Amino acid sequence: MDKYERIGRELVHKGAIIDYYEDTIRVPNGNIAKWDYIRHKGAAAVVAVKEDGKLLMVRQYRNALDRETLEIPAGGLNGADEPTEIAAARELEEETGYTAGKLELLLSLRTTVAFCDEKIDVYVATDLHRSSQHLDEDEYLDVVSYDVEELVRMIYGCKIQDGKTVSAVLAYYNKIRG
């Protein structure tokens, strides 16, 4: 045997954002292993570029870290089949109060491939127009803007650690530098 074979999957907990499973896997040497698996409905994120070239960012509290983080606007899909471009446009407006005249896919990323299938499509939003925020009842965030070079310094200074934000800002920075 030279391949992995899933021989069982048991739902341990169904959550609002994720479903947690315990998988039973036959590994190449024939042994049986128990592995954690988290199913995620997917997400979309936005590098929102203002007319002056600054990027819109959101500062918000994250329970898992018990602190505020600085991130690009992002959010989960309303369902696994929702187009990510639709979700990106929605999240941009909900979180920042801006709409985009143009959305262009920048990259797709998998956040934690060892145990989770979460996929985030990241879009660049340009031709921004002021609208209004539509935050969830339990959502409190500040919208701020930064020069991309300042954000890159914050990444390498370990002040921004969110994976989607690090990936998106560096990809955008490389794109505009040619």
Asked whether 95 and 55 are in contact (CB, 8 A), the reply is no
pLDDT band with cut points at 50, 70 and 90 for residue 1: low
Tens of pLDDT, residue by residue over 55-66, are 999 999 999 999
Tens of pLDDT, residue by residue over 122-144, are 999 999 999 988 888 888 899 99
For the cut 90, the answer to whether the pLDDT of residue 154 exceeds it is yes
Tens of pLDDT, residue by residue over 43-100, are 999 999 999 999 999 999 999 999 999 999 999 999 889 999 999 999 999 999 999 9
The DSSP result for 15-76, as a single string, is -SSEEEEEEEEE-TTS-EEEEEEEEE--EEEEEEE-TTSPEEEEEEEETTTTEEEEE--EEE
Q: Which of 22, 104, 137, 149 is catalytic?
A: 137
57 DSSP β-pair partners: 144
Q: Is residue 150 flagged as an active site residue? A: no
Tens of pLDDT, residue by residue over 115-125, are 999 999 999 99
